[in-house]
A and B are shown apart, each in its own frame.
Chain A
């Protein structure tokens, strides 16, 4: 058996700590340190020191930061899909050829289907397509995949049928504008304008399907229905099954087969609507908008840095300056970065202790139709503030709306809704939420409390 040198012994300090030495190595290691006082002393030091250094673990990202990162990654991935072909071309050929040659190369790229790495695309494909249909800036064709987050525009007379990976089918009649968001398990179709018909196969527990217009949200489990959205409001017609129509103030209307819901008829009871038109992607906007978007991202970074340093007032000042600077850029309004700034504004208000303003800002993000993960984050934050302030019914409503999406905070939001409803004295609601929790998370951390709530209630 060959002996070890001091350097070999040192290279095994961590293996000793982690118990990774095999028996032969262990014998050699210990026989060396028995005869070498220096190694013996260092081995003892690092055996004690390594676990302590490891235990000094930096704090992990909080749920808000995690969601923020996830939203940003999804946004960058969606952006990479749109930008990938042009960028690859520039990297390979731009230094050699001029603009005319570039057009030819791009044409070849498109014909061949592009080299290398396939872009990340969404959970749906065009089954049939007629008329002028564009995804982003590009005309589309049958069988093409539809990237998540890319704006789809249909001219008058155009019709598309979309097949979703989860088994649903959509038909959209132009003129229309829509965007697919979420995932195959958590479908969200954002309908700006136009008519959409949907045939949705039964969703599994934990799966959702929603159509969102500027003034309502249609939540579905398995049904056939149509939605018409326009500037005047939205109308939902159900031909099979049942859907839940959720209004911006949280009111929910169940609509069964043969029934319809018209938001303009329901508007009499509502507050004045403040929701703007859903955000178009950068590619939909003018050429100067790229610069505006870069400036927006720089502002967002600076605001985040200020907030991490605890200077929320400075963050709010920067956001106000950015808003003033952008007030003349109406043509570039409504970018994804705008949503990020609005979210940061709500967080800065929260950090500054202006809780009522923060709650209003968080809720405005939901009404505005920010990305699903951001809306969930915002509603969850609003609910936490409401709960701290003792507004338990409002907290329960916000938690419940946050739980409507199946993001990272879904389970926590459901528990929050259940507990807040119970604390607010709304026992039937609390029991219903507890039953829903147990159906989705029978072994979840909140299951014992949920069982107690369900068990406490009268026979159902």
Chain B
């Protein structure tokens, strides 16, 4: 259930079949169908870096080139996400994720007079990206895939080529870190509550 807007699995399977037979229109349709979710996962994993597009297109290029290796054991979207995560992790190892630090985001902002200029949604996104940027890459990947994208622990383990136990530990560590940060800075909770429309 990570992406309820995605077309039904049989429709995607038919596209994959056509792409395996090297139908260029099927490649195009698969790209159009999945580019949004792949872009979202990559962006959540690396933050607002200027090479997000490059990573997304590399992921699709590697996936399309490897289609003969896709056995259909998993959903195409899961297989594609695995490739996107692999491409992204490779890049993250070379370069740390970039996002405004939490201290930059919140301490000056709480004293600043003009938060009206920024919409609540954008402020929340900045907060979430700053929180994610504090996580180590493996924890961040597990947290993004499980908590934000809604993949099960077992699916995350398959995507990250890790054991389910290892994924549980990474998600737990990520959760504990975020809980600690929220406790330290109640302004963050206020921002999240505002975006949720509740107090």
Residue B57 contacts which of A69, A148, A308 (CB distance < 8 angstroms)? A69
Contacts of B1 in A (CB 8 A): 18, 20
The answer on a CB contact under 8 Å between B64 and A120 is yes
Q: Closest chain A residue to B50 by CB distance? A: A305
Contacts of B65 in A (CB 8 A): 77, 80, 117, 120
Bound complex: CA of A77 vs CA of B23, how far in Å? 13
The answer on a CB contact under 8 Å between B148 and A7 is no
Q: Closest chain A residue to B69 by CB distance? A: A117
Residue A57 contacts which of B40, B64, B69 (CB distance < 8 angstroms)? B40
Asked whether B56 is an interface residue with its Cβ less than 8 Å from the other chain, the reply is yes
Contacts of A65 in B (CB 8 A): 53
User: For residues 149 through 190 of chain B, which have their beta carbon under 8 Å from a beta carbon of chain A?
Assistant: 150, 152-153, 168, 171-172, 175, 178-179
The answer on a CB contact under 8 Å between B125 and A56 is yes
Evaluate whether A7 and B53 lie within 8 angstroms (CB atoms) in the complex, with A48-B196, A60-B40, A117-B69 already known: no
Bound complex: CA of A292 vs CA of B43, how far in Å? 31
User: For residues 39 through 77 of chain B, which have their beta carbon under 8 Å from a beta carbon of chain A?
Assistant: 39-40, 43-44, 48, 50-51, 53-54, 56-57, 60-61, 64-66, 68-69
Binds B, one of A9-17, A274-282, A347-355, A418-426: A9-17
The answer on a CB contact under 8 Å between B195 and A61 is no
Asked whether B139 is an interface residue with its Cβ less than 8 Å from the other chain, the reply is no
Bound complex: CA of A12 vs CA of B131, how far in Å? 22
Residue A73 contacts which of B64, B146, B168, B192 (CB distance < 8 angstroms)? B64
Residue tally, chain A, CB below 8 Å to B: 55
Bound complex: CA of A185 vs CA of B57, how far in Å? 23
The answer on a CB contact under 8 Å between A55 and B195 is yes
Of A14, A15, A57, A58, most buried by chain B (CB within 10 Å of CB) is A58
The answer on a CB contact under 8 Å between B50 and A58 is no
Bound complex: CA of A374 vs CA of B124, how far in Å? 35
Residue A69 contacts which of B22, B35, B125 (CB distance < 8 angstroms)? B35
The answer on a CB contact under 8 Å between A308 and B64 is no
Bound complex: CA of A72 vs CA of B127, how far in Å? 32
Asked whether A184 is an interface residue with its Cβ less than 8 Å from the other chain, the reply is yes
The answer on a CB contact under 8 Å between A52 and B124 is yes
Residue tally, chain B, CB below 8 Å to A: 52
Bound complex: CA of A13 vs CA of B147, how far in Å? 9
Bound complex: CA of A66 vs CA of B153, how far in Å? 31
Bound complex: CA of A185 vs CA of B56, how far in Å? 26
Residue B150 contacts which of A14, A57, A58 (CB distance < 8 angstroms)? A14
Contacts of B115 in A (CB 8 A): none
Binds A, one of B9-17, B26-34, B84-92, B106-114: B26-34
Main secondary structure of the interface of A (DSSP, over half): helix
Bound complex: CA of A183 vs CA of B25, how far in Å? 6
Asked whether A45 is an interface residue with its Cβ less than 8 Å from the other chain, the reply is yes
Q: Closest chain A residue to B42 by CB distance? A: A58
Bound complex: CA of A45 vs CA of B189, how far in Å? 11
Bound complex: CA of A69 vs CA of B152, how far in Å? 29
The answer on a CB contact under 8 Å between A15 and B152 is yes
Interface string of A111-134 (1 = CB under 8 A from B): 000001110111100000000000
Asked whether B96 is an interface residue with its Cβ less than 8 Å from the other chain, the reply is no
Q: Closest chain A residue to B64 by CB distance? A: A77
Asked whether A70 is an interface residue with its Cβ less than 8 Å from the other chain, the reply is yes
Evaluate whether A186 and B25 lie within 8 angstroms (CB atoms) in the complex, with A52-B124, A53-B128 already known: yes
Q: Closest chain A residue to B194 by CB distance? A: A52
Interface string of A186-226 (1 = CB under 8 A from B): 10000000000000000000000000000000000000000
Of A76, A120, A408, most buried by chain B (CB within 10 Å of CB) is A120
Residue B68 contacts which of A20, A72, A118 (CB distance < 8 angstroms)? A118
Contacts of B152 in A (CB 8 A): 14-15, 20
Asked whether A182 is an interface residue with its Cβ less than 8 Å from the other chain, the reply is yes
CB distance from A370 to the nearest CB of B (A): 17
Residue A182 contacts which of B24, B44, B56, B148 (CB distance < 8 angstroms)? B24
Contacts of B54 in A (CB 8 A): 301
CB distance from B57 to the nearest CB of A (A): 4
The answer on a CB contact under 8 Å between A10 and B175 is yes
Given contacts A56-B195, A60-B35, A117-B66, 20 further A-B pairs with CB under 8 A are A11-B171, A15-B152, A45-B179, A50-B148, A53-B148, A54-B147, A56-B125, A56-B129, A58-B43, A58-B125, A65-B53, A69-B60, A73-B27, A73-B61, A73-B64, A117-B65, A120-B22, A183-B24, A186-B25, A305-B51
A-B contact list, 26 entries, CB within 8 Å: A11-B171, A14-B146, A18-B150, A46-B147, A49-B178, A52-B193, A53-B148, A55-B124, A56-B128, A57-B125, A58-B125, A66-B32, A69-B35, A69-B57, A73-B27, A73-B57, A74-B27, A117-B69, A120-B65, A122-B24, A123-B23, A123-B24, A148-B24, A183-B24, A184-B23, A184-B24
Interface residues of A, Cβ cutoff 8 Å to B? 7, 10-11, 13-15, 18, 20, 42, 45-46, 48-58, 60-61, 65-66, 68-70, 72-74, 76-77, 80, 116-118, 120-123, 148, 182-186, 301, 304-305, 308-309, 407-408
Q: Which 4 A-B pairs have the closest CB atoms?
A: A183-B24, A56-B128, A58-B43, A183-B25
Interface residues of B, Cβ cutoff 8 Å to A? 1, 22-25, 27-28, 31-32, 35-36, 39-40, 43-44, 48, 50-51, 53-54, 56-57, 60-61, 64-66, 68-69, 121, 124-125, 127-129, 146-148, 150, 152-153, 168, 171-172, 175, 178-179, 192-193, 195-196, 198
